[in-house]
Amino acid sequence: MPKPPNLIQTDWQAVYDSGKDFAAWMKSGESEQNVDALQQFYDSQIISENVQIQLKALTRPIHVVAIAEDWCPDVIRHVPVLQKMSDLSDNLNVRYITREEHPDVFVRFLTNGGEAIPKFIFLSDKFAECGNWGPMPERLKELIARGKACDNVAKAREKIYAAYIADTERVEVVDELIYRIGVAAAETP
């Protein structure tokens, strides 16, 4: 059996360091309307007391590289969740990059072969890659995959839209993100 190709190792600290913080990323937005929508989602985002306790209990830095561009509705909906969580913890640090800035990084995180954002890459305090999330909750990604399988992505998107309307506080996103944060913060296997 042939040996699989070796992927080039990503220098995650360099990628992270090249990113923008939330304020700088927002200032670089392509659309004032989308930046306003991002801010509205951020301002209205509620993080439960239980999740806040978990965020405040982080004992070492966790780094997140967020591949995000403000034109995308999923970015507008999900980036504010991650950023609000980051703002509640001294040890959850996020930097934003674009697909264009790091195509070599983005190509590693395609969704079912497609270019979908946002993508959040979770890194330990030593910049070890510990997982990724995006562009939407797992249950909804599965709907898209099922829609592709039966050639009815339009119906899948209708169901996703209904799920988004039902989950105004983006609880499903918070739950999946806090899980991945916990993995990146692990002190034992």
pLDDT of 114 reads 87
Q: What are the structural domains, with CATH classification, of the chain?
A: 12-135+169-184 (3.40.30.10)
DSSP structural state of residue 30: S
Q: What are 1-15's pLDDT values in tens digits? A: 676 666 678 999 999
Residues of the chain with pLDDT under 50: none
Length of the chain: 189
pLDDT of 7 reads 67
113: left (phi over 0), alpha (psi -120 to 50) or beta: left
pLDDT of 9 reads 87
Q: What are 44-72's pLDDT values in tens digits? A: 999 999 999 999 999 999 999 999 999 99
pLDDT of 4 reads 67
Cα–Cα distance for residue pair 181/122, rounded to 1 Å: 7
